[in-house]
Amino acid sequence: MASAPVGQASAFPRPPIRIRSLLALGVCAWLVCSLVPRALAGYRVHTLATTGADYAVCMVGPTGPALFRDNPAELARLVHRRIVAAAPGERPFEKCARHALSISGSAEVARKHALSAASFFEYGLSGTESASSLAVSSEPLVAAAHAAWPFVRGYSALVKPSLGAFEAMHPVQLPRPGVGRGIPAYRGVYRSLKRTPEALLLAFGKGAHLSLHKSTDNGLTWRPAPSVASGDFAERCLTGDGRAYEVGLSVDHDVLEASSIDLDGTAHATPLGPLTSSAYAVACDERALVVLLRAQGARTSEIYDCPFGGRCSVLSPPRAEALPAFAEQTLDIARVHGTTVLAVTAKDIVRVSSSRDEGRTWSPFYVAFDVTEHPEVRVDVRTPSRLLTVDNRLLLYGGGNRSAQSYSVLVSDDHGASFRTP
């Protein structure tokens, strides 16, 4: 019996969507999900790069963008310089706050950029904020650049400020101090100088604290000179033309007085202050004597001006807003041919102001020395807080507890308007 023919196998139904189509759709979806965020990140890179450059030029001037990109430590160093160089009430970074907010996204960081210079600890007054709190890094820009590959293959060339960006003045580096030796660290009321053909002689202090020194390099280094006859220039302030001043008790020992001593030895005395007052720094030239006087128990000092042969009067100090509570800091004073120079030291920062019209006006305080500058200078006493007039030159020096100790020295040839390396 013949078998029945085998029928053909039934075919599977054709799928409505091919697998390769699904793969193609998956690849397209992956590309969209991957590339769109990268494209958006590329747009953010351009925005952040311009904002970061605008922030950097606002903070430290034209070198800021390169430092923001490559050298944040140097950027922080320039920010520190801008803080200490500003007036106490000035807000040097206020215009940069909106850029800081755009980059960091932190309202607190933006608020700190709007603070006054005196609010920062580094300024040397009573501020408690740290300059490190102003640090706005380039990390958001770096992260956005990584996320934007391949649309952005580098962000360095993009860090350029916009045309309307505010540009701060570049903070100038302070002069490098020289190294001096020989002047004592204690505060001597008198610092009397006498020039001889061989050397420069210094009689420092008075009474039991009198010491004599000699310099052959115009005052940079000194060595003891105990054999020098000092009767004609020690324990007094010399004017430079043969006359002198002395500060001491009156004949009745009831008042502190200043005496103008003429060429023939004639002395004209005038009251200076109460008996309980303490004169801890004096300086003079051919026109007048200036004295830093502090009353007993007082926290502040007064500057007295005594014209030669005239009456002493209180010299108007720099305005309080120029440097608040300046009299509570370490002070020193000098006279150079009619100019009164005042040095104020606060937390190892020395600021200087001068007056050429007997205190009626004072120049703005400027930073002459900052201990954070030039750490490579190795001396025993870092901060030069004392003033000494040598002819037409003014020295800003430190002073050592021992004669062998070294200290920082800066010099001024323009009556204290600026200081330079010796």
pLDDT given for residue 298 in this prediction: 78
Which of 109, 126, 158 lies at the terminal end of a domain, its last residue? 158
User: Is residue 146 domain-shared with residue 190, that is, in the same domain?
Assistant: no
Helices assigned H by DSSP within 120-214: 139-147
Between CA 277 and CA 254 the distance in angstroms is 11
The reply to whether 212 falls in a domain is yes
Cβ atoms within 10 Å, residue 3 = 5
pLDDT given for residue 183 in this prediction: 92
pLDDT given for residue 187 in this prediction: 82
User: Is residue 200 domain-shared with residue 123, that is, in the same domain?
Assistant: no
User: Is residue 119 domain-shared with residue 243, that is, in the same domain?
Assistant: no
Considering only CA atoms, which of 236, 294, 297 is closest in space to residue 267? 236
Do residues 304 and 277 touch, judged by C-beta distance below 8 A? no
User: Is residue 316 domain-shared with residue 390, that is, in the same domain?
Assistant: yes
Per residue, the 3-state secondary structure of 340-375, as one string, reads EEEEEEECCEEEEEEECCCCCCCCCCEEEEECCCCC
User: Is residue 118 domain-shared with residue 214, that is, in the same domain?
Assistant: no
The reply to whether 112 falls in a domain is yes
Query: Which residues touch 380 (CB under 8 Å, ≥6 apart)?
Result: 400, 405, 406, 407
Question: Encoding tokens for residue 36?
Answer: 């769109």
Do residues 65 and 161 touch, judged by C-beta distance below 8 A? yes
Going across the sheet that includes 278-284, the strands are 278-284, 288-294, 302-307, 313-315
CATH number at residue 291: 2.120.10
pLDDT given for residue 297 in this prediction: 78
The reply to whether 189 falls in a domain is yes
pLDDT given for residue 262 in this prediction: 92
Q: What is the pLDDT along the chain (422 residues), one digit of tens a residue?
A: 455 555 555 665 666 666 666 566 666 665 555 545 655 555 566 777 788 889 999 999 999 999 988 899 999 999 999 999 999 889 999 999 999 998 888 899 999 999 999 999 999 888 889 988 888 887 777 676 666 666 566 667 778 888 888 999 999 899 999 999 999 988 888 899 988 888 999 999 888 888 999 999 999 999 998 878 777 888 899 988 889 999 988 888 788 999 999 988 889 999 998 888 888 889 999 999 999 988 887 777 889 999 998 999 998 888 766 666 655 568 899 999 999 999 999 889 999 999 999 889 999 999 999 999 999 999 999 999 999 999 889 999 998 888 889 999 999 999 999 999 99
pLDDT given for residue 253 in this prediction: 77
Q: In this structure, is the dihedral angle defined by the CA atoms of residues 233, 234, 239 and 245, taken in order, positive or negative? A: negative
Give the 3-state secondary structure of residue 144.
helix
User: Is residue 123 domain-shared with residue 217, that is, in the same domain?
Assistant: no
Burial class (CB in 10 A: 0-12, 13-18, 19+), 135: middle
User: Is residue 136 domain-shared with residue 48, that is, in the same domain?
Assistant: yes
The reply to whether 253 falls in a domain is yes
Do residues 391 and 349 touch, judged by C-beta distance below 8 A? no
Residue 195, phi then psi, degrees to nearest 5: -100, 130
pLDDT given for residue 1 in this prediction: 47
Between CA 406 and CA 273 the distance in angstroms is 36
DSSP secondary structure, 212-226, as one string: EEEESSTTSB-EE-T
Do residues 358 and 344 touch, judged by C-beta distance below 8 A? no
User: Is residue 221 domain-shared with residue 106, that is, in the same domain?
Assistant: no
Between CA 252 and CA 275 the distance in angstroms is 11
pLDDT given for residue 418 in this prediction: 95
User: Is residue 261 domain-shared with residue 124, that is, in the same domain?
Assistant: no
The reply to whether 13 falls in a domain is no
pLDDT given for residue 182 in this prediction: 92
User: Domain total for the chain?
Assistant: 2
User: Is residue 99 domain-shared with residue 200, that is, in the same domain?
Assistant: no
The whole domain housing 50 covers 21-158
User: Is residue 220 domain-shared with residue 145, that is, in the same domain?
Assistant: no
Q: For the chain, how many residues are written?
A: 422
Q: Which amino acid is located at 280 in the chain?
A: Y
